[in-house]
A and B are shown apart, each in its own frame.
Chain A
Amino acid sequence: MASALINVPAKAKRGDIIEIKTLMSHIMETGYRHTASGEIVPRNIITSFTCRFNGNEIFRTDLFPAISANPFITFFTTATESGKFEFEWIGDRGFSETASASISVE
């Protein structure tokens, strides 16, 4: 079961630069590992992470097998208005997860 952890401040002053931390549980199988019998374990990773604020994309990451299991990504944004952050993770084998967080800006 995939699940996300999001850390967004609930409140901020207009113009503040806030940090957003995200963690998505995922095995991030590289495709370079072998089983004991010598078969390659097929790749299964998250390939893309996107953050939108009130519908506009504010941050995007392309992920590769070199990202650790349970990808942890943090970034910053300027608080301009109250609204909703939407997070989306897309990956191999049709993996798709979303999460959201609200912020009130004074």
Chain B
Amino acid sequence: MQQPTNSSRRKFLGLAGGAAALGALPVVIIRPAEATPAMLAAAIQNVTGGAAVRTGKVKLEIPPLVENGNTVPMTVTVAHPMAPEDHVRSIHVFNEKNPQPNIANFHLGPHNGRAQVSTRIRLADSQKIVAIAKLSDGSFWSASVDVVVTLAACTEEVI
């Protein structure tokens, strides 16, 4: 009488352990598609064509702690003159962990007077945001900011 009770308890523990081990694995697999650092690097490569990107000139303003990832205010300013012979041509913003690495491309010219743009973006996770400015002389400058997101965008279901 004792024997079957023991064996079923052992079976139960074995199953429970197995379920726990299996449970740990899908956490990695079920994660939604996200841009990996490799995709981020590829997206940057697409813009720069392999040219060197220097840190500086660009100022990326974004709250370091974000409560709602669905609307995150962002401002990019490039400290560079906007003269016809020497200006900022474009500003590109990228992320690391959204499903796509691109956020936006802004195309500017000398008539803008000031190289500053603002918008509101979505962030699916705590991650690094990178802004790259292309100048008229062909050089690239960048800034990056780490952002912590408490409520991620894109996760809610549509009813």
Contact = CB atoms under 8 A, between A and B. Distances in A.
Interface of A: 17, 30, 32-36, 41, 53, 56, 58-69, 71-78, 80
B158 A61 contact: no
Contacts of B156: 33
B59 interface: no
Contacts of B150: none
A78 B157 contact: no
Interface string B98-123: 11101111111101111011111111
Contacts of B98: 65-66
A51 to B, nearest CB: 10
Contact of B157 (A35, A58, A66): A35
Given A59-B107, A66-B104, A68-B122, A32 B99 contact: yes
Given A60-B107, A64-B100, A17 B33 contact: no
Given A35-B157, A69-B70, 13 more contacts: A32-B32, A32-B33, A34-B157, A58-B109, A60-B106, A61-B119, A62-B104, A64-B100, A65-B100, A66-B103, A66-B122, A73-B117, A75-B112
Contacts of A69: 70-71
Interface string B70-114: 111000000000100000000000010011101111111101111
B107 A77 contact: no
Contacts of A73: 117-119
B159 interface: yes
Nearest to A75: B117
Contact of B158 (A34, A60, A72, A78): A34
A63 B113 contact: no
A35 B156 CA distance: 9
Nearest to B82: A78
Interface string B55-76: 0000000000000001110000
Interface in B106-146: 106-109, 111-114, 116-123
Contacts of B120: 67-68, 71-72
Contacts of A34: 157-158
A66 B95 contact: yes
Contacts of B51: none
